[in-house]
Amino acid sequence: MSGEDPLKADREMKLNLAFIEWNVEEYILKAGQAFRKFLPLFDRVLVERSAAETVTKGGIMLPEKSQGKVLQATVVAVGSGGKGKGGEIQPVSVKVGDKVLLPEYGGTKVVLDDKDYFLFRDGDILGKYVD
Instruction: Supply the pLDDT for residue 68.
Output: 63
DSSP letters, 2-31, are ----HHHHHHHHHHHHHHHHHHHHHHHHHH
Confidence (pTM): 0.63
Cα 19 to Cα 15: distance, rounded to the nearest angstrom? 6
- 10-residue averages of pLDDT along the chain (131 residues): 65 62 52 63 88 71 67 88 84 90 88 87 90 76
Instruction: Supply the pLDDT for residue 86.
Output: 84
**Gyration radius from the chain CA atoms:** 20
Contact yes or no for 9/1 (Cβ under 8 A) = no
